[in-house]
Structure 1
Amino acid sequence: MPADRLKVDVEGRPLELSNLDKVLYPAAGFTKGEVIDYYTRISPVLLPHLADRPVTRIRFPNGVDDKSFFEKNKPAATPDWVRVETLPAPGSTKGRETIDYVVADDLPTLVWLANLAALELHTPQWKVGEHPDMMVVDLDPGPPAGLAECCPVAVLMRDRLADDGIDSYPKTSGKKGMQLCCPIAGNQSADDVSAYARRIAQELEKEHPKLIVSKMARNLRPGKVFIDWSQNNAAKTTVAPYSLRAQRAPSVSTPLTWDEVEAGARGRKPAVRQFTSAEVLDRVEEYGDLLAPLLDGGPELPAR
């Protein structure tokens, strides 16, 4: 066996890891071995959020400074123990009717994906064979607005959703913005969820036009926070909680407390920011899984 390959057993599954010393985050000197270590250590809180959801991967074989590619279909030489679900492919750019999706339900599959340099893991708002059980509100700041400007918008959105009995849980995107995740009943279509999210976004834009925009046009976004309600489209995915992101440092889509977001909305420290993988492991040690309530289901959305 080549010196750069290592045979391991992960929960009874044989894996051959390769190029563990390969640097995937050059600015931070963060290697593929460290990526695998992070995903292994974060797996107790990450795997429940991946369970039963087809996972789209963004792979960076030569690191974040080089080319990447989206991968929905199962890769070549997928082990026979990896769960694969053949599902309709709405909006496929390649004209496919179905895609053989990987479902990362267990640690061996997660380690296998990390070994393929699948740094980013994205999932839809629905589980295999079911309607959406989560609504996502993506807060996308238009420069020069940033994460700080997302905080007051997040609080406004939280309070408005609470009026309808909808709980929301914040996380960073791991890049420039923030997302609110809302557990819902799972008996309404993606179109219904998108329509509701759009209506609330439009209400808030009308009330706070200098802060919020709900329209897709990019020329309207500078200096404002775009509330992207369209993330709830059945064909779209959102970065999974605790997933790495392809930034200079190994940043992570990180669950936040509402105390942190409210402090950010008031401009107080400690300000909300993007967190690295090491910091996220420490946060999980301190807080546990702040997004655990997403796993317990939620209410039906109000009718239009």
Structure 2
Amino acid sequence: MTPITIVEGRRLALSNLDKVIYPGSGFTKGEVLHYYATVSSALLPHVHDRPVSFLRYPDGPEGQRFFTKNPPPGTPGWVKTVRVPRSEDQLAEQVVVADLATLMWAANLVVEFHVPQWTAGRPAVADRLVFDLDPGDPASVVECCAVALWLRERLAADGLETYAKTSGSKGMHLLVPLEPTPSERVSAYAKTLAQEAESELPELVVHRMAKALRPGKVFVDHSQNAAAKTTAAPYTLRARASAAVSAPVAWAEVAGCLDGGGPAALVFLADDVVARLARDGDLFAPLTDPGRAGALPRGGARTAGAS
């Protein structure tokens, strides 16, 4: 029989709890569900009121993977959905992970959680800026750390505060809390800074996606600021070989990785993240504080150090 549990008054059928999702470590579906229940108080604020896209991998990272923005078949009627723009002339339903019950229902599907930089009530008006730092072999997260530290300083010159997390794969994500700003303007600003990073660090950075340009360099992907794009949410498990998490990190850890810690210093598995939360709390909590939101400079990016 499929176990039935009650979460916040909602009946959930949780299936195949002994199924191994991550063969390398033997991490089971039951452990996936336990992880999400344990980190829910940190994860939920970062997906609050945001339409969620799912990367599903029900048979593990080596099985079939498929990305969906539509509510999956069988979505319970109590799961909150919102109508959001899918194109210029089309609205579509997407799930909002509004509570623990919805989080556990979605986790039972075995998914990565991806969200846009805007909330459901204000489509295409971003309250966050994001950079996805993607290293091209033989570069690694160590090179990403060097780029992240440069971008942090550069964004600070424009009065913006930056927070870092691992991607859960090879790279890093940088997020900046913003006063609500049209996504088109945020995208233009982010592209300008990516180009500036390439100009200042030509041996290390590329701002274009072409794979031929990327070996040994860090691709500063600014495109996820487009209104139609999404980014892996903080604390989501990733469909990778191990139960790796997209985990917030302190800037001291970023500097430590660059100063000899090596790539392994910024790999965090589910159990690591649970322990980190117990010790440090949510390092990304300031992203949900409206008082931390910064304003983009008028007229686009300024020269670093300019008044």
1:294 is displaced (CA, Å) by 0.3
Question: In the alignment, does 2:150 pair up with 1:156?
Answer: yes
Unaligned runs of 5+ in 2: 301-307
Letter in 2 for 1:178: M
Unaligned runs of 5+ in 1: none
Letter in 1 for 2:101: P
Structural mapping, 1:1-304, within 5 Å: 2=1, 5-90=2-87, 97-118=90-111, 120-130=112-122, 131-186=125-180, 188-268=181-261, 272-297=265-290, 298-303=293-298, 304=300
Letter in 1 for 2:183: A
More displaced, 144-153 or 214-223?
214-223
The question of whether the paired residues in 2 share the 8 Å contact of 1:204 and 1:212 is answered with: yes
- Distance in 1 (alpha carbons) for counterparts of 2:153 and 2:3: 51
Change (3 A) 1:270 1:146: closer
Q: What SS class does the counterpart of residue 75 from structure 1 fall into?
A: coil
1:35 is displaced (CA, Å) by 0.6
Change (3 A) 1:276 1:13: same
More displaced, 70-79 or 166-175?
70-79
The question of whether the paired residues in 2 share the 8 Å contact of 1:260 and 1:271 is answered with: no
- Distance in 2 (alpha carbons) for counterparts of 1:204 and 1:270: 22
The question of whether the paired residues in 2 share the 8 Å contact of 1:147 and 1:177 is answered with: yes
Q: What SS class does the counterpart of residue 44 from structure 1 fall into?
A: helix
Letter in 2 for 1:65: E
1:28 is displaced (CA, Å) by 1.4
With the length of structure 1 as denominator, give the TM-score of the two structures.
0.94
1:115 is displaced (CA, Å) by 1.0
1:97 is displaced (CA, Å) by 2.0
Letter in 2 for 1:34: E
- Distance in 1 (alpha carbons) for counterparts of 2:266 and 2:161: 22
The question of whether the paired residues in 2 share the 8 Å contact of 1:35 and 1:114 is answered with: yes
- Distance in 2 (alpha carbons) for counterparts of 1:198 and 1:110: 33
Q: What SS class does the counterpart of residue 260 from structure 1 fall into?
A: helix
Q: What SS class does the counterpart of residue 209 from structure 1 fall into?
A: coil
The question of whether the paired residues in 2 share the 8 Å contact of 1:263 and 1:270 is answered with: no
1:88 is displaced (CA, Å) by 1.2
- Distance in 1 (alpha carbons) for counterparts of 2:132 and 2:262: 23
Q: What SS class does the counterpart of residue 247 from structure 1 fall into?
A: coil
With the length of structure 2 as denominator, give the TM-score of the two structures.
0.93
Q: What SS class does the counterpart of residue 18 from structure 2 fall into?
A: coil
Provide, for residues 225-266 of structure 1, a one-character-per-residue CA deviation record: whole Å limited to 9, x for no partner.
111111100010000000000111100001000001112222
Runs of 4+ in 1 over 6 A off after TM superposition: none
Q: Give aligned-pair identity as a percent.
A: 51
Give the length in aligned residue pairs: 295
Provide, for residues 50-103 of structure 1, a one-character-per-residue CA deviation record: whole Å limited to 9, x for no partner.
100011011112222110111110112211111011111039xxxx92221000
1:125 is displaced (CA, Å) by 0.4
Letter in 2 for 1:16: A
1:270 is displaced (CA, Å) by 9.3
Give the equivalent residue in structure 1 for 2:303. none
The question of whether the paired residues in 2 share the 8 Å contact of 1:152 and 1:264 is answered with: no
